[in-house]
Amino acid sequence: MPGVDGFIYPNEVELQWGLLIVLYPYITGLVAGAFILASLERVFKVEAVRPTYRLALLTALAFLLVAPLPLQLHLGHPERSLEMYLTPHRSSAMAMFGFVYLWYLMVVLLLEIWLEYRADIVHLAQTTSGWRRLVYKLLTLGSENVSPEARRIDDKVSYIVTVIGIPSAFLLHGYVGFIFGSIKANPWWSTPLMPIVFLFSAMVSGIAAVLVLYMAFMKVERMRLDMSCLDTIAKFLFYTFVIDFSLEMLDLLHRTYEADESFRTLDFMVHTRLWGSQVLLQICAGTLLPLALLAANQVWRFSEMRRKAMYLIASLLTLVGIFAMRWNVVIGGQLFSKSFLGYTTYKVEFAAREGLLGAVGLMALPFILVVALVKLLPPWAGAAGARHGVPLEAGSLSGGKVSEG
């Protein structure tokens, strides 16, 4: 049989979860990571990353809105997907995840964004015209109270929402890890470490994404980059990456040492079918190289230009590397037979429903959405309709420190 080596169960020839299911944890991971970065400022008082607070929230929202799309495209009957909410099977991690997603979207992210942007929304509702005015009026939810006392209460509530939001973000992506990690039938997936590995790699990818977006937007909007902000983000990226890498190495070490029945077949798979995507792309290019670039900045002091280049390259490599990690988990878990006696192959189609073209489109969509959201709800000072020079307090535009010029 073409693509099959050795013996596999007859129903295992075709992979069930393909490129779209690789995309899905990648996208939700970016959500969790971006949100954690935002919460660094809000809850852990890391003032330096303040300029990216709003951008991180909008990034998280953009990716969260796109996240269900690869799932819908993948389902045999997407028109029945509402069943997950109407008759959720409580023993199924996938069903419970639907509610975690909804909770996170409604009660954490949308609420936090609304509370953060309320003053601006009201201001924009009062100063724009035409259909834009209508949109902003809708977003005010009918209340135009932006008195300092009201804003103080907003600030308090927003703080509580973020505090709840951190474990919610952990739950959001940890759950995806659990969806894989709880499958005893699949030894590549089944490990208690899976939710934690997923979570930390999500944080890594999310922080890297915000870093890249921040640099990109500052370049496009021709605004001055806050280097201390960038340095701090890179520092947290480095720390998170170290933890993530350690966890993955721990998993690898544990498997290699215990060498249970599945080890032989998994080891062979990594050395052959997954060599490029796991060893070369994920580990070498996607982890070791960015770690080296980031670590260098913790030891030596480079010029601003050099640092920006190193951070950008490190972040882009990280984003590729974390995608490769998702690929290796999802696809890798289906390349070997559960008989441990053979392997199959994954052929990515191009223009089919679950093909490459669609996947590229789906990956581009959140970035388009971020641009749209940034236009709708400008995150920085100097943007149209924004207040300028207002002392930095909850409700004013973050980045007030930025526009010092």
Partner 1 sequence: MDLGRRDFFKIGGKLLVLASAGATLDEIMGASTAPETYRMADHWWGMIIDIDKCIGCGNCVRACSQENNVPADFFRTWVERYQVEEGKQPRVDSPHGGIDGFPPSKREDLKSFFVPKLCNQCASSPCVQVCPVGATFVSPDGVVLVDESYCLGCRYCIQACPYGCRYLHPQKRTVDKCTLCYHRITKGLTTACCESCPTGARQLVDFKNPKDPVHEFLRQNKVEVLKPYMATQAKVYYKDLDGSVR
Partner 2 sequence: MGRLFRDAGHLIRPALVLVAGLGAFLVLRAVVVPKDFGRYGHYRAGALAMVSARPISYAGHSQCEMCHEQEAKAHGGGKHANVACEACHGPLAKHADDPTPNVPKRPDVANLCRRCHEQDAGKPRGFPQVDTVAHSQGVLCDNCHQPHNPKL
Binding site for partner 1 (CB under 8 A): 7-14, 16-17, 71, 74-78, 80-81, 83-84, 87-89, 91-95, 98, 179, 182-186, 333-334, 337-341
Q: Which does 220 bind (CB under 5 to 8 A by kind): partner 1, partner 2, none?
A: none
**Amino acid identity of 109?**
L
150 touches partner 2 (CB under 8 A): yes
143 is in the binding site of which of partner 1, partner 2, none (Cβ under 5 to 8 A by kind)? partner 2
Closest distance to partner 1 from the beta carbon of 17 (Å): 6
16 vs 147 by CB, closer to partner 2: 147
* Residue whose entry in the numeric block shows the structure tokens 């720390």: 239
Size of the site for partner 2 (CB under 8 A): 22
The residue (of 41 and 112) whose beta carbon lies closer to partner 2 is: 112
The Cα–Cα gap between 201 and 278 comes to 14
CB nearer partner 1, residue 269 or residue 283: 269
Does 157 interact with partner 2 (rule: CB under 8 A)?
yes
109 CB-near residues (< 8 Å, 6+ apart) = 35, 57, 60, 61, 64, 165
Is residue 272 a contact partner of residue 88, using CB atoms and an 8 Å limit? no
Residue 301 beta carbon to partner 1: minimum distance, rounded to whole angstroms: 49
The alpha carbon of residue 319 and the mean position of all alpha carbons in its chain are separated, in whole angstroms, by: 10
Are 247 and 198 within 8 A, CB to CB? no
Of 14 and 393, the one with the shorter C-beta distance to partner 1 is: 14
Selection from partner 1, partner 2, none that 142 binds (CB < 5 to 8 A by kind) is partner 2
Nearer to partner 1, 228 or 339 (CB): 339
Residues 106-135 touching partner 2, rule: CB under 8 A, are: 106-107, 110-111, 114, 118
Residue type, 15: L
Q: Is 87 in the site for partner 2 (CB under 8 A)?
A: yes
Query: 144 vs 231, which CB is nearer to partner 2?
Result: 144
Residue 118 binding target from partner 2, partner 1, none, CB below 5 to 8 Å by type: partner 2
DSSP assigned state of 28? H
141 binds, among partner 1, partner 2, none (CB under 5 to 8 A by kind): partner 2
Q: Measured from the CB of residue 90, what is the shortest distance to partner 2 in angstroms?
A: 8
Q: Residues 4, 73, 153, 288: which binds partner 2 (CB under 8 A)?
A: 153
- The encoded tokens of residue 111 equal 């609420």
Q: How far, in Å, are 16, 48, 100, 301 from residue 38 at the CA level?
A: 36, 11, 19, 26
How far apart, in whole angstroms, are the C-alpha atoms of residue 19 and residue 61? 22
CA distance 181 to 192: 6
Residue 164 as a binder of partner 2 (CB under 8 A): the answer is no
Residue in 11, 16, 147, 303 binding partner 2, rule: CB under 8 A: 147
- When the beta carbons of 161 and 266 are compared against partner 2, the nearer one is 161
Query: Choosing among partner 1, partner 2, none, which partner's interface includes residue 12 (Cβ < 5 to 8 Å by kind)?
Result: partner 1
Q: 261-277 burial, b if ≥16 CB within 10 A, otherwise e?
A: ebeebbebbbeebbeeb
Residue 149, classed as helix, strand or coil, is helix
Instruction: Report yes or no: 118 and 395 within 8 Å, Cβ to Cβ.
Output: yes
For 6, 87, 179, 260, 374, the CA distances from 96, given in Å and listed in that order, are 38, 11, 10, 32, 32
DSSP code, position 181: H
- What value, to the nearest 5°, has the Cα angle with vertex 331 and ends 290 and 282? 10
Supply the minimum distance, in Å, between the C-beta of residue 81 and partner 1: 6
Please give the structure tokens belonging to residue 44.
């852990």
Q: The tokens of 294 are what?
A: 């980031």
Tokens of 247: 């966890």
Quickly count: other Cβ atoms within 10 Å of residue 191's Cβ: 17
Q: Does 145 bind partner 2 (CB under 8 A)?
A: yes
Q: Which does 297 bind (CB under 5 to 8 A by kind): partner 1, partner 2, none?
A: none
| DSSP letter, residue 6 | E
153 binds, options partner 1, partner 2, none, Cβ within 5 to 8 A by partner type: partner 2
Does residue 215 belong to the site contacting partner 2 (CB under 8 A)?
Answer: no
CB of 30 to partner 1, least distance (A): 22
The whole-angstrom separation of Cα 60 and Cα 36 is: 10
The site for partner 2 (CB under 8 A) is made up of 82, 85-87, 89-90, 106-107, 110-111, 114, 118, 141-143, 145, 147, 149-150, 152-153, 157
